[in-house]
Structure formats: structure tokens, C-alpha cells
Amino acid sequence: MSLFTKVGKKFEETKQSVIGSKQSTYVCHSCEEAVAEEYEHCPHCGEGPVELANNC
Ligand SMILES: [Zn+2]
């Protein structure tokens, strides 16, 4: 169970770095969470799809 907590924390850090970076960022259409890669199904909510987010 503690493993899940650690993974969850790590995931939050990863998400922050993804949002902060200037690399390509994908955003879920369903829950609008940012993800690092293009997924057919969002890892956050299981819905999707995720799409490239261009924050000009
Ligand atoms: Zn989602």
C-alpha cells in the first residue's frame, strides 16, 4: 500500500515537470490532465483520447 503512495507522489512530480517543460505536452480531453505521451486511453481517468496541447 505504501508503494502506491510513493508511486502517486512520484507521478505528481513527473506531472509537474511535464507541465513545466517546453517539450510536447498532451492533455486528456476527458479530465484535462496533462500526460507525457500520447495515449489512446488516459492514464488518469481511463477515458481519452489525449491530444497534443499547444500552449502558444
Ligand atoms: Zn483523463
- Give per-residue pLDDT as tens, 2-54: 777 777 777 777 666 655 555 678 999 999 999 988 899 999 999 989 999 87
Number of domains in the chain: 1
Please give the residue range of the domain that contains residue 39: 2-53
Model pTM score: 0.52
- Ligand 1 midpoint to CA 27 (Å): 8
Which is higher by pLDDT, 55 or 30? 30
For residues 21 and 18, give the distance between their C-alpha atoms in angstroms, rounded to a whole number: 5
pLDDT in the model for residue 17 = 62
pLDDT in the model for residue 3 = 75
- Ligand 1 midpoint to CA 49 (Å): 8
- Ligand 1 midpoint to CA 51 (Å): 11
pLDDT in the model for residue 11 = 73
